[in-house]
Structure 1
Amino acid sequence: MAGLGAVALAPFSPAAGLAQGLAQGRPVAVQAKPASLALRPDAAATPIWALQGPELGFGRGETVEIAFANELPVPALLDIRGLDGVAAAEPLTGRAPLAAGAKETLQLPLRHAGTLLCGLGLHGDGQARPSQVRALVVRESQPVAVDRDEVVLIEDWRIRADGTAIPPGMDPGDSMPVQTINGRPSLDLSVRSNERVRLRFINAGQRTVFAAKLDGVEVRVMALDGQPAEPFVARNGALVIAPGGRVDVFVDITGAAGTTYPVLLHDGRNARPIGKLTVSNEPPLRPAPQPAAPPLPSNGLPAQLDLKSASRVDLALGGPPAEWGPPATFSKNAPPAFRAKAGRTVVLALTNRAAIATVFHLRGHHFRLLDRLDDGWKPFWLDTLAVEPGQTQRIAFSADYVGRWLIEQVAADWAAPRLVRWYSVE
């Protein structure tokens, strides 16, 4: 299960902006600033907080320097979701929130290719305004057989009658839910017959579990949460993505000129069209569709996990916070949720005691979702998992990176607080 807020298909052109700055040895400048976004038709734009700067597109193996400036009136914490093994950049355990008007520089070695998420949401509960999210794309070092690469960024909002937006972690009252696609209400993407398009779906929603569906076309899942998967066809073209989750898919366009493929969004209550892919009148890109694509290049995660000698930990989600607490009161002096020896497999049993789905996020490492009998795992890696009420899910990861790392949980409810703990690899 997972949540997908609103879908944004924005062309990804890695040569723009960033690549030039990197080539000249300059850091990539990113600023947290007050901004506004048109969220309602025929109404004034809604004040929000945004991350501004060039397109965040890089190559695997690069070490990127990001110069982050906080131009907000409150402390801000730049969070890069899906970045494994960079303890110095880890929010809260490695970096404190940045004071208003302050600046910092982050060194990010990009070990893995994939789709990541960059935002201010970890420290954003209950603040004056909600914040936007940015995609961070790390390209594979080997060629990938696609014709186009599009980011599908989904965000959701809660708007009051006076046009202001309610930040997450607060009672939404009678506010109106709104989803945007790259800051727009809908998506219209022109495609060509026999073209292969890579769509990087990102659920940048705050709490809601969404499903996105592409009607009338085969949707082949190639990566989950930024890590290559054993390719599989999404059932009925539907993708269910937890808040913060990412799904990379390949879509081969086979229809004739004028064919339309609707994009639908379901929030658990209602489905509505949020966009469409339309085959243009241009000639087919090639005489016939490409053959099925091979798996994406491996990022080097282990092929096998030693479950027999794994360290095993039970973690309760939902219910009373107990040892969990909000990011605003996080202390590195609090005892860790667990300690692991470097290189050892860790199995976590996640039991959701809440009455609604709860989303769990592991930082610093990706994990395998274990089979019910604990004798194998699903053929993909994750860093985010939604656990149904009363359910226990077991996950396993190889503790490869020494350091202190966060774990997060949040119930699938707008008013629910985001809660954190930390774990240590020694």
Structure 2
Amino acid sequence: MKPESGVSGVSGVPRASGAGGETPVRVGVFGLLGSGNLGNDGSLEAVLGYLRTAHPDAAVDALCGGPDVVMARYRIPATRLHWYRGEYRTASRLGSMVGKGLGKFVDVLRTAAWVRKHDVVIVPGMGVLEATLPLRPWGFPYSLFLLCASGRLLGTRVALVGVGAAAIGDRPTRALVRWSARLAAYRSYRDTLSRDALRDMGVDTAHDEVYPDLAFALPTPSASASPEQPAGAPGPVCVGVMDFHGGNDDRARAEEIHRRYLDGTTRFVRALVEDGRPVRLLTGDECDASVVAAILDAVDSPLVTASEASSLADLMKETAAADTVVATRYHNLVCALKAGTPTLALSYAAKSDALMARMGLDAYSHPAREVDPDELLRQFRELERSAPEVRRTLTERNLLATRQLDDQFTALTSALFPAAHPEHALRKAS
């Protein structure tokens, strides 16, 4: 397998989609989609919106973590990512260990068979090239490598679109990520840090571009005040929480990091309640429910409620209705910033800091590993005092993000659907 950069040298021109009896282009989407992570599903929704607008005749299906959810919510056919259903459960018994090991071999054939049926496969956004949260090499990194290797061998174009990447210390994980990126036909990133991380891991990124996170392409909700909120009263504060235990290199300190994060966040919420502020707790993944429950139990007040958002659109509506947002999960931040709400990041990775800088709010970031409730409260009050200026900045940055994502989708069409751009196909053939 010879590593390539960008699109050049990749065989397999997709069938044209359109009228005239031509076979529709076959597009697959791949990832931990429908598995409870709202950010991942929001990236999928953005790519599906692009496909339905720019390539309405494309036949689209998914290989994903939660096929039932994807089929029900997005109305596309979907196949389970792993043959072994207990892939992400700890294998403690012999039967589960054998099943998980056998699954690794079966998935080679299953992935190749699925890839072979497509002209193009898109990996929509997500932090697929990073290990900022605990990750094992034989989990998703292995699955992504199978996808990209199958695409290269079978002539199917695999595109990593608007993905996140970060430096990886674990050597097996780093090797799988590096080869996955090298074997992909197209790469773009959600921030410059991601492109730099891939370059530092030995991937030629000279022709790769950086665009805003795909979720910025989703519709923006209009703000609406809560019907229970008296006129002129301070609005709600959305606090996005996370089942945070540190990153891949923090396993030895995971519980200590979690305790400090939970204690600091709880004390901050309690301080807001003592000021008479309504607090709305947000999540971004099913695993975050335990943190919400712990805060509700510790801060026993009717002013603290929990959101039941089931999509990024729901989260955006919540953040649009808030006066201010303080959030940990990356896509909680994206939702708040896109809604134009003054936002403070409880940052757990460099990607959060990069996002806040892109949106002009780099002064409003606080480390999730070392939550200092007093300092956080000081930053929060400063943010609220600057709210009018912050809202103007976010309006400008959101308009720019929309234009840049239009460029992203135009570039994607040129790279992956040459039949829709014959002049591009001629240039590649000459």
Question: TM-score range, shorter-chain basis?
Answer: under 0.3
TM-score relative to the length of structure 1: 0.24
Greater share of helix: 2
Answer 1 or 2: higher relative contact order, Cα 8 Å, separation at least 6: 1
TM-score relative to the length of structure 2: 0.24
